[in-house]
Structure 1
Amino acid sequence: MPEIKTKSPAIGHAECLIIGGGVIGSSIAYHMAKEGRSTILVERFIPGEGASGAAVGMLAAESEEFTDPELAQFARTSRDAFPELVRDLERLSGVSVEFRTEGFVTPFRSEAEGQKRWNAAIAQEVDHPVWWDSRELARRIPGLDGQVIGAIYRSKETQISPAQLCRAYTGAAVELGATICSGTQAEQLVVKNGRVCGVQTDSGFFSCKQVIIAGGLDSMRLLEQVGFEYPLNPVKGEAVAVSLKDHPLEYTIYADDIYLVPKRNNELWIGATSLPHQHDKEVSIGSLEGLLARASAWLPRVREASFIRTWAGLRPQAVAGRPCIGPVPGVKGVYVAVGHYRNGVLLSEATGRAIAALLKGAGVAELGISGFSPERIKEASK
């Protein structure tokens, strides 16, 4: 790899420079600052305005039914850390993340479907799900479609406001001494004698000892500069927010074809489509019709709701099928945390904590992320 030098003096210096202000980069900034390390985060727009801000904020470690055991454990560890994390972030930042703990409900319309879901839930042997029959379900969630005969209830599943979470992460990081540079595009990693020494941005040069690349889809360009290929595909996700007229939904409904996520002010967020290889953030009429039709099939009174807004985001789906977290082989001081796809909010806490531990000398094996390591992913791609 050729040496890359900068001609301009540094306009800023920190031990750690994080590229990307989504929920992953913001979490890393918080955890690094919490460790007392000088930290700068650069984000080309405003933290939380990209894919992270377009999420609906579910911490669905069990409902998602991960098939990869290592990823499943990582997800549970991250979700279970959120109650304490939320207390710390809200105390430091003064930002409410709108944390809700009522739990998730996965409804079904046949005994066979219910038994299949129950067996899958029990096989995880972790969170002790509860079977709600039609009577219990009618008591808990009035107004569900009449063909729904039961549901699996998971009490440990929680949810937050993703945009507020990003604000809380960055706000807490700043309180702990970090610097957040919005509107700053990272252009080039600067390497000398096989070690990173800074980042050239459109605002100038920042010197540092470590760089953590956490810029979602934009990360591929920077990783290629240090000889590491990690393809990411954009997957557009569209959602819609409505306001229910009466009886706000208490529990998050997590069905096969749709999820209905209750928020403050009687809002209900409905999502989401999954459209691979699309780069625009427009919401089509067809997608909107599909979301509302699937939502009202489970909860008919959605048809009487008031429309609020629609939005879309581009999820970074890894071709490798799992996130990439750890030191990048071939150059010292460069780390990566990308490819979280539709689970960035859920995995943010554990990812930020893992990166902080790696920079203190911990190994990927002891952190339970061997399968996510760039070295392992690089070997598997050969």
Structure 2
Amino acid sequence: MPEIHTKASAIGHAECLVIGGGVIGSSIAYHAAREGHNTIMLERLLPGEGASKAAVGMLAAESEEFTDPELARFARTSRDAFPELVRELERLSGVSVEFRTEGFVTPFRSETEGHERWKAARTQENDHAEWWDARELARRIPGLDRQTIGAIYRSKETQLAPVQLCRAYAGAAAVLGASIWSGTHAKQLVVQNGRIRGVVTDKGFFTCNQVIIAGGLDSMQLLEQVGFHYPLYPVKGEAIAVSLKEHPLEYTIYADDIYLVPKQNNELWIGATSLPHHDNDEVTIAGLTGLLARASAWLPRVREASFIRTWAGLRPQAAAERPFIGAVPGLEGVYAAVGHYRNGVLLSDATGRAMAALLAGAGAVELGISGFSAECL
């Protein structure tokens, strides 16, 4: 691999330099600073203004039904850390992440499918789930489609405001001593004698001992500069926010074809489409009409809701169908955390903790993330 050299004068130095201020990069910056590392975070936009802005903020470790056991454990570990994490982030940053703990409901119209999924849930989730029959559902969620025969209720599932979470991570990191550089585009890694020396940006040159690439889809170019190929591709997701002024929804509805997520001020966020290899963030009429049709099929009074806004974003999906979290092979001091797809918010805490531990010398096996490392590519 050819080495990259620069004569630029450094405008900053960090023990740990994090590239990317989305939910993953911001979490890494927070956890690195919390462990006492001298940390700089570079973000091309503002923290949370990229893919994280398009999320709806669900911590769906069980509802997502991960088929990869290691990823499932990682997701649950991350979700379970959020109550304490939120308290600490809000205390340090002063930013409310609008954390909600009412739980998630996965409804079914087919008795066979419902009871098969219920049996699997009981096996996989150590009896945390509950089965609600049609009568219990009618009591808990007035106005749910009458053909619903029952639902799995997961009390441990939580949700929050994703952009606020990014701001809380970044704000808390800054309080702990990290330097946050918004509007700064990382353009080139600087490598000498097989180890990282710094990063060239549109604002100048930063030196560092360790660099963590966590910039979502933008990460591929930087990784390929140093000969590491971990293909990512965009999956566009569209969502819509409406207002249910009468009888606002209390629980998040996480169905197979749609999710309805209640937020503050009687808002209901409805998502999301999944369009692989779409590289624009435009919201389409087809996408919105499909979302509203599926949402109103489960909760008919959505048809009477007031429109608030729509949005779309590009999720960074890994071709390997699992995130990469670890050291980039063949180089000293270069790490990456990419490819979290639509679970970046959920996996952010565990990813940040794992990366901070890796930077301090811990091994992937002892951290339970060996399946996300270069050896498993």
1:222-261 pair list within 5 angstroms: 222-261=222-261
1:211 paired residue number: 211
1:123 paired residue number: 123
2:200 paired residue number: 200
Contact kept? 1:328, 1:375, Cα under 8 Å: no
1:183 paired residue number: 183
Is 2:301 the partner of 1:301?
yes
Q: Deviations over 1:325-347 (max 9, x none)?
A: 00100110000000000000000
Distance, in Å, in 2 between the alignment partners of 1:232 and 1:122 is 34
Give, as a single letter, the amino acid of the residue that structure 2 aligns with 1:87: R
Report the alpha carbon displacement of residue 116 of structure 1 after superposing the two structures with TM: 1.8
1:274 paired residue number: 274
Contact kept? 1:98, 1:161, Cα under 8 Å: yes
Report the alpha carbon displacement of residue 245 of structure 1 after superposing the two structures with TM: 2.2
Distance, in Å, in 2 between the alignment partners of 1:96 and 1:74 is 25
1:380 paired residue number: none
Distance, in Å, in 1 between the alignment partners of 2:120 and 2:239 is 27
Distance, in Å, in 2 between the alignment partners of 1:119 and 1:218 is 41
Distance, in Å, in 1 between the alignment partners of 2:90 and 2:142 is 33
Q: Give the 3-state SS of the residue equivalent to 2:270 in structure 1.
A: strand
Distance, in Å, in 2 between the alignment partners of 1:61 and 1:244 is 27
Report the alpha carbon displacement of residue 111 of structure 1 after superposing the two structures with TM: 1.2
1:354 paired residue number: 354
1:53 paired residue number: 53
Q: Give the 3-state SS of the residue equivalent to 2:53 in structure 1.
A: coil
Q: Give the 3-state SS of the residue equivalent to 2:71 in structure 1.
A: helix
2:166 paired residue number: 166
Contact kept? 2:250, 2:262, Cα under 8 Å: yes
Q: Deviations over 1:138-165 (max 9, x none)?
A: 1110010111121100000000000000
Distance, in Å, in 2 between the alignment partners of 1:178 and 1:259 is 36
Contact kept? 2:62, 2:125, Cα under 8 Å: no
Distance, in Å, in 1 between the alignment partners of 2:199 and 2:242 is 43
Report the alpha carbon displacement of residue 127 of structure 1 after superposing the two structures with TM: 5.0
Q: Give the 3-state SS of the residue equivalent to 2:303 in structure 1.
A: helix
CA RMSD of aligned residues (A): 0.7
2:137 paired residue number: 137
Is 2:104 the partner of 1:104?
yes
Distance, in Å, in 2 between the alignment partners of 1:206 and 1:73 is 36
Distance, in Å, in 2 between the alignment partners of 1:40 and 1:374 is 25
Give, as a single letter, the amino acid of the residue that structure 2 aligns with 1:269: W
Contact kept? 1:127, 1:154, Cα under 8 Å: no
Q: Deviations over 1:1-29 (max 9, x none)?
A: 11211111100001010000000000000
Distance, in Å, in 2 between the alignment partners of 1:366 and 1:282 is 43
Distance, in Å, in 2 between the alignment partners of 1:273 and 1:85 is 30
User: Unpaired runs of 5+ in structure 2?
Assistant: none
Give, as a single letter, the amino acid of the residue that structure 2 aligns with 1:239: A
Report the alpha carbon displacement of residue 128 of structure 1 after superposing the two structures with TM: 2.0
Distance, in Å, in 2 between the alignment partners of 1:373 and 1:126 is 28
Q: Deviations over 1:69-107 (max 9, x none)?
A: 000000000000000000000000000000000000001
Distance, in Å, in 2 between the alignment partners of 1:125 and 1:46 is 37
Contact kept? 2:128, 2:156, Cα under 8 Å: no
Give, as a single letter, the amino acid of the residue that structure 1 aligns with 2:193: N
Distance, in Å, in 2 between the alignment partners of 1:343 and 1:13 is 31
TM-score between both structures, scaled by the size of structure 1:
0.98
User: Unpaired runs of 5+ in structure 1?
Assistant: 378-382
Paired residues in the alignment total 377
Q: Deviations over 1:262-307 (max 9, x none)?
A: 0000000000000000011011001100000000000000000000
Give, as a single letter, the amino acid of the residue that structure 2 aligns with 1:138: A
Distance, in Å, in 2 between the alignment partners of 1:343 and 1:172 is 22
TM-score between both structures, scaled by the size of structure 2:
0.99
Q: Give the 3-state SS of the residue equivalent to 2:199 in structure 1.
A: strand
Distance, in Å, in 1 between the alignment partners of 2:88 and 2:245 is 35
Report the alpha carbon displacement of residue 110 of structure 1 after superposing the two structures with TM: 2.2
Report the alpha carbon displacement of residue 125 of structure 1 after superposing the two structures with TM: 3.6
Distance, in Å, in 2 between the alignment partners of 1:359 and 1:84 is 23
Distance, in Å, in 2 between the alignment partners of 1:182 and 1:119 is 48
Report the alpha carbon displacement of residue 123 of structure 1 after superposing the two structures with TM: 2.6
Give, as a single letter, the amino acid of the residue that structure 1 aligns with 2:17: L
Report the alpha carbon displacement of residue 119 of structure 1 after superposing the two structures with TM: 1.9
Runs of 4+ in 1 over 4 A off after TM superposition: none
Q: Deviations over 1:40-84 (max 9, x none)?
A: 000111110011111000000000000000000000000000000
Q: Give aligned-pair identity as a percent.
A: 81
Distance, in Å, in 1 between the alignment partners of 2:71 and 2:245 is 39
Q: Deviations over 1:150-186 (max 9, x none)?
A: 1100000000000000000000000000011011110
Report the alpha carbon displacement of residue 122 of structure 1 after superposing the two structures with TM: 1.8
